[in-house]
Amino acid sequence: MTAYAMAHVHSTNFGQELIEYLRRIDATLEPFEGRFLVHGGPVDAVEGTWNGDLIIIEFPDLDSARGWYESPEYLKIRHLRTENTTADTIIFEGLPTGYLAKSALDHLPRRRARREFRHPPTRFRQRCRPGDGNGRGRAAANADHPRRRRAGFVAVGAESPAMKRKPPSVRG
């Protein structure tokens, strides 16, 4: 599967060493079938902000990308870049042909997927404690749902029979 080396270059000290690096990098890519897809240039930040340059190099597979990065030829010139730029650099594998975003849902744990996608969201707050000023005791606030009672949470605005009863201190 196709792999990529990507760098987000934040700052550059463009001098003779970086010029030497740019002259020599293409020869280090050839044995690993690497090619530049993106090499700096203007970007259109449609969300958030973007500072710096983006560099993306494509390789036929992950082993080729790692092989290039650790190759003796590239190691000889890598310091020319790292000493003159500030960047975040990653190597990663691409996705198979025909990949669909909904495929990511298949990797969610079953229990989490059911809870998040089959039930409407509910706000929760910590359970009530005696003397907390709301007039309900701990058991009354959570009597309607055994799992929430054990976990210590109750749905905000829950209308359970236990919550409708007056606490013992208020009964006349």
Average pLDDT by stretches of 10, the chain with 172 residues = 96 94 96 96 90 95 97 96 95 92 82 54 53 52 52 49 54 52
Helix 72-82 vs helix 62-70: angle between axes, to the nearest 10 degrees?
70
* Strand blocks (E) in 23-100: 35-39, 53-59, 85-93
- Residue 166 has phi, psi (to 5 degrees) of -75, 140
Quote the distance between the C-alpha of residue 26 and its chain's center.
32
pLDDT of residue 104: 85
**Is residue 128 within 8 Å of residue 137, measured between CB atoms?**
yes
pLDDT of residue 107: 78
Structural domains present in the chain: 3-96 (3.30.70.100), 108-164 (no CATH)
pLDDT of residue 108: 77
Within 13 Å and on the Cβ side, how many CA atoms surround 27? 11
| pTM assigned to the model | 0.62
Q: Which two tokens stand for residue 120?
A: 């409407």
